[in-house]
Structure 1
Amino acid sequence: MAASVKKQVSEQEWQARVDLAASYRAVAMFGWDDLVFTHISARVPGPEHHFLINPYGLMFEEVTASSLVKVDLQGNKVMDSDYEINPAGFTIHSAVHEAREDAHCVMHLHTAAGIAVSATAQGLLPLSQQSLFALSSLSYHDYEGVALNPDEKSRLVADLGDTRFMILRNHGLLTCAGTIADAFLGMYLLECSCQIQLKAQASGQELILIPPQILAGIQAQAKQVTRSAGGALAWPGILRKLDRTNPGYDQ
């Protein structure tokens, strides 16, 4: 199957498929997956508004480049596939892709830590260095039930604005970026922030919040820390680890 799909798509699309499949497997590797639920989508390079998303029913650790499903903004398949997609999942993703030309990749997860923080009135607190990266571009969206209502799209997009990180209240986490690697790094930072916060709160000790003036300067510092490379700095190492522990995503 891999050979037949690879022959049908451009070199650029195949590379996007390989990176997106790797991101699914990396999410599973870090233990952030939720059985077959939640999604990571990526825009197919080119003028068409076509997108890749996971085949509904496969575990994240099973996703391959060739099994990803190509759809349009309405969630209709634009290339033959034996798999279907989750319509509720694509409601969120299509809304972000349609509104944000810069959001080539959208990652949405239901991690226990992320949902726990999303259910607190204060949300994410400036408790760690990791949290500052997320807080520099963070928005919130209130829970409206399972995302099947098209009307929710406009409200979600309005809440997202031009931010790169979103906490969906009582639901989970979302990141969007211009590359798959950047969306993954964003989720890594956001998820770590939630885990650290819960552990700090569970200690019962008085919490020390990072001063607001430090938060104000974090965006410039973020570029220095990653050498302006964003997720591309860590992505090759993630791929090498996958090649050692769970190869085959590029098939």
Structure 2
Amino acid sequence: MKKALITGANKGIGFETARQLLQHGYFVYLGSRDRQRGEQAAGQLRAEGYSQVEALHLDVTDSTCIAAARQALGQRTAVLDVLINNAGISGGYPQPALETPLHTFREVFNTNVFGAIEVTQAFCDLLRESSAPRIVNVSSGLGSLTLQNDPRWRFYAVKGGVYPASKTALNAYTIALAYELRETHFKVNAVCPGYVDTDFTDHLGDSSPSEAAARVLQAALLGPEGPSGQFFGQEVGTDRNPW
């Protein structure tokens, strides 16, 4: 049975992605910063009939917690097949580039960039034991420099000094990591799940968590001929909001 770890999985896109991976026969570890909420989320999935799920206390901004989570997971499995770096925060809007406090930049980058990097580095040894390891970094079209600089883009005016920049950095890391692992069986990609109806968007999104999770799964379930180092986003070339 293949195994997957999802960060920020106790609600929203992460939770729905877990449900869909379970439906594909995966054993899923729900990474959650809040231990109790993680256990509640796992309990909800078990109540729905999915037995192959466990909560894993994992705060991506806490190095000690990441190390403890890696040790705990290593005691449960010697192999990890999928890592989905889903945990993320927006930092709140508006985010004027000249006025947003530096501590907001640090807070957002700690979660969206450094957290994803540290988790990837911590769990990469387990991923290397898989015959088809997959890393999916949940990103955003707002991190696309091409789209952000195109006045024809529907959301050209949706600017922010913090959140978009954090996703741009995550995209750059995705490319570098994919290149570094190009001679292996790894597939490393970034995915924009869309403008999703979750707490993250104050439920203003026009896409459901189920639809968003399906987009993430496309990258998580790539076959051996699938691409690596790519950015997948439904909004590219469309009028979708790339949150």
TM-score (norm: length of structure 2): 0.27
Asked which structure has the greater RCO (Cα within 8 Å, sep 6+), the reply is: 1
Query: Which structure has the greater CA radius of gyration?
Result: 1
TM-score of the two chains, using structure 1 as the length reference: 0.26
